[in-house]
Amino acid sequence: MRLTMDQRNMIARRAAKEIVPGMAVNLGIGIPELVADFIPNEWHVMFHSVNGILGVGPTPIQGEEDQHISNAGGAPVTIVPGASYFDSTVAYGMIRRRKLDVAFIGALQVNRRGDLANWIVPGTRVHGIGGGAELAFYAKKVIVLMSHVTLSGEPKIRRECTFPLTAKGCVDLIVTERAVIEVTPEGLMLTEVMYPYSLQDVIYHTGAPLLISEHLQMVE
């Protein structure tokens, strides 16, 4: 199923609730990029970009782009007060030293233990893993933002991943257009079901056993 822009924004808005003021956060490509739109400026959240910026700000006004300030996807960005520039080893030093509070990441598959597959679909062209493995492994909290099912309707949350893994056991929370699911030591815990989907629909479209939270919320 292809997500609508409204659904993508809804996922990003829900995921943004996991951020508290002052955090350092990395946003991956795709739906994660939208999360910044739901964070108030006065929270002083520092957005990290692996190409060497801590303190990424909003997209510049057209005509005011600086050709030497971009995010890791190559899009022009601005910086916020307190930002810094650094080389690639420092960018990954922050990651490896677990200075990033949250990494928001897209995914192809997640399994019941929080293993993440997001870098290659077997049989298609290989692009390389980039910085995905390091972000997923070292961020203090990893939140996956993705559609609940593939374009052909297959569950992306599965007992086992069939695609090559990016990192094992790294995912803490999954946010989709249908549900919010926590990865716990006991397994996947369903905590929220998004309107207009039903509990039965979420269970049916999830390829791994779900524990149902006793505080399960039906989100309007």
Partner 1 sequence: MYGGFGTIGSPALLIDALLQKGVRDLTLIGIDAGYPDVGIGKLISHGRVKKLLTTHIGSNPEAGQQMMDGRLAVTFCPQGIFAEKIRAGGVGIPGILVDARMWGEATDGREAVLFEGKPCWMEPALTADVGIVYAKQADTYGNLIYDKSARNLNPLVAMAAEITIAEVEEIVPAGELDPEKIVTPGIFVDYMVNRSGGNS
DSSP H stretches of helix in the chain? 5-16, 88-96, 132-138, 199-204
Task: Give 92: exposed, middle or buried? Use CB within 10 Å, 0-12, 13-18, 19+.
Answer: middle
Q: Please report whether residue 121 would count as binding partner 1 according to CB under 8 A.
A: no
What are phi and psi for residue 188, nearest 5 degrees?
-85, 125
- Identify residues 154-173 at the interface with partner 1 (CB under 8 A): 164-165, 167-168
Q: Please report whether residue 87 would count as binding partner 1 according to CB under 8 A.
A: yes
Q: Which is nearer to partner 1, 165 or 194 (CB)?
A: 165
Q: Which is nearer to partner 1, 146 or 181 (CB)?
A: 146
- Contact with partner 1 (CB under 8 A) among 3, 133, 203, 211: 133
Residue found under tokens 């990395």: 26
Secondary structure (3-state) at 17? coil
Q: Please report whether residue 128 would count as binding partner 1 according to CB under 8 A.
A: yes
Q: Which is nearer to partner 1, 11 or 135 (CB)?
A: 135
Q: Which is nearer to partner 1, 27 or 72 (CB)?
A: 72
Q: Which of 105, 93, 108, 83 is nearest to 50 (CA)?
A: 93
Which helix (H) or strand (E) segment holds residue 49: the answer is strand 46-49
- Identify residues 11-70 at the interface with partner 1 (CB under 8 A): 49-53, 66-70
Output the smallest distance, CB 70 to partner 1, in A.
5
Q: Give every CB contact of residue 86 below 8 A, 6+ residues apart in sequence.
A: 52, 54
Q: What residues line the site for partner 1 (CB under 8 A)?
A: 49-53, 66-70, 72, 74, 85-89, 91-92, 95-96, 125-134, 137-138, 164-165, 167-168
